Amino acid sequence: MSSIEQMLIVDSVKGTPKAERIMSCSTLTTRYSRAVAPSVREVRGQKSQVVFHRGDLCEGLYLVVYGRVKLSISSAQGVEKVIEIIQPGQSFAEAVMFLGTPCPVTAQFLEDGLLLQVEASAIDRAMADDPAFARRLLAGLSMRLHSLIRDVERYSIESSTQRVLGYLLQYADPEQSAQQVVTLPVNKNLIASRLNLTPETFSRVLHQLSDAGLLAVNGRDITLLDLDKVRAFGCG
């Protein structure tokens, strides 16, 4: 989502009924967004504030109106592994809500933000009465499962260079072959963890790709100098 789109969502939130806020970032029909509105709770948070901890019970799904949320796990030694970064317009905790099991991850605001928590009972009613919504929700869960399988594939068979280039190419226009600037949505340490790399390895790969003339790094702005060469290099 672009910064302009995010600003529009932020502006639309002010003085807007909950039902319309749900419509701005979910697949509910107008009729059902109004029906579940009484079961919606706003969750406002500041940067680093925890939404829920691993092991907590989850009684509904969350929709991100604005801000970003990190899903992560930590080892006994305190080493954090980022599982996913949830962007504005996306949702999380659906699977755990259906299973009725404790949350397997910790959810934490990466920046000031607003979430809408929809009670599980309201989602159950919406699915029973609105088949289109049920299909869209299942499609979303299927896409997330596919993404997790893709992650396992990356970690198992792709080199660190391929992982970094694959991540950067996600944000590039596939129709363009000229140079493009990709702005990293979060800091490099979080991205490294998301790619199952150490921060040092992530930085070293960026430096090597820069030396190879494939990209230029300026803080969070990464210029892909020749997309065709970047794609070919990433497949090698």
- For the stretch 90-133, pLDDT in tens is 889 988 888 888 999 999 999 999 999 988 888 888 888 888 88
Band of residue 27 on the pLDDT scale cut at 50, 70, 90? low
Band of residue 2 on the pLDDT scale cut at 50, 70, 90? very low
pLDDT above 60: residue 58 = yes
Band of residue 35 on the pLDDT scale cut at 50, 70, 90? low
The reply to whether 12 and 43 lie within a common domain is: yes
CATH, residue 140 = 2.60.120.10
Given a contact cutoff of 8 angstroms between Cβ atoms, the answer to whether 168 and 222 are in contact is: yes
- Give pLDDT, residue 4: 28
Residue with the two structure tokens 């080199």: 159
How far is the C-alpha of 142 from the C-alpha of 165, rounded, in Å? 25
CATH, residue 198 = 1.10.10.10
Structural domain ending residue among the three candidates 139, 157, 175: 157
Structural domain ending residue among the three candidates 157, 188, 207: 157
Structural domain ending residue among the three candidates 106, 122, 157: 157
- Give pLDDT, residue 124: 86
Nearest C-alpha neighbor of 162 from the set 66, 231, 69: 231
Query: For the chain, how many structural domains are there in total?
Result: 2
The reply to whether 98 and 190 lie within a common domain is: no
Q: At what angle do helices 131-157 and 160-170 cross, to 10 degrees?
A: 150
Which structural domain, as residue segments, surrounds residue 215? 160-234
- Residue 133 DSSP code: H
The reply to whether 34 and 87 lie within a common domain is: yes
The reply to whether 144 and 40 lie within a common domain is: yes
- Which of these ranges, 2-16, 151-165, 193-207, has the smallest mean pLDDT? 2-16
φ/ψ (deg, to 5) at 18? -55, -40
The percentage of the chain sitting over the pLDDT mark of 90, rounded to a whole number, equals 33
- Residue range 131-150: mean pLDDT, rounded: 83
